[in-house]
Amino acid sequence: MARNTRSARLVLALSVAGVLAVFLVYVSIAGGRTPQLRPSQLAGHRGNVSLVGKVVGPVRGSGYSHGGLRFAVSDIGGAASTAVPVVYHGSVPDLFKVGRHVVVDGRYRSGVFVAKHDSLVTKCPSKYTPKKS
């Protein structure tokens, strides 16, 4: 009788481990990824995305005002004419300014990128360029 109990526990433990392994493989391959897009790639895209680009002026409002912080983002190294307007609510990083590279999460709706609360991240482009010799 004790042997059957041990076998049943072993089968149950292995079954749970197998289900967890399949779930981890699925999440690592297909789940939990947010596509990163440039402003020129946003047209016609639905769902949540991470918008990557360069801030172009003018910057109006603040992250905590009723209308939010409003600015535009263009492709890094691209023309400002392809800029996408962004509306953002939340804390604004100290390094945020015109010309800075940013990443912000949200949705593209009716020609405006509506950012998620507190999702704005700035990057310092000079930190990632090689030093001149």
Spell out the per-residue pLDDT of the chain, length 133, in tens. Answer: 566 888 899 999 999 999 999 988 877 776 667 888 999 998 888 889 999 999 998 899 988 888 899 999 999 987 767 899 999 999 999 899 999 999 999 999 988 999 999 999 998 756 555 566 5
Q: Which of 71, 66, 69 is nearest to 83 (CA)?
A: 71
pLDDT of residue 66: 86
pLDDT of residue 12: 93
* Average of per-residue pLDDT values in the chain: 86
36-124 classified as CATH 1.10.357.10:
no
Beta bridge mates, 37: 51
> pTM of the prediction?
0.69
pLDDT of residue 32: 63
Q: Where along the chain do its domains lie?
A: 1-33, 36-124
pLDDT of residue 1: 53
Secondary structure string (H, E, C) spanning the chain = CHHHHHHHHHHHHHHHHHHHHHHHHHHHHCCCCCCEECHHHCCCCCCCEEEEEEEEEEEECCCCCCCCEEEEEECCCCCHHHCEEEEECCCCCCCCCCCCEEEEEEEEECCEEEECCCCCEEECHHHHCCCCC
pLDDT of residue 82: 80
**30-53 per-position pLDDT tens digit:** 666 788 899 999 888 888 999 999
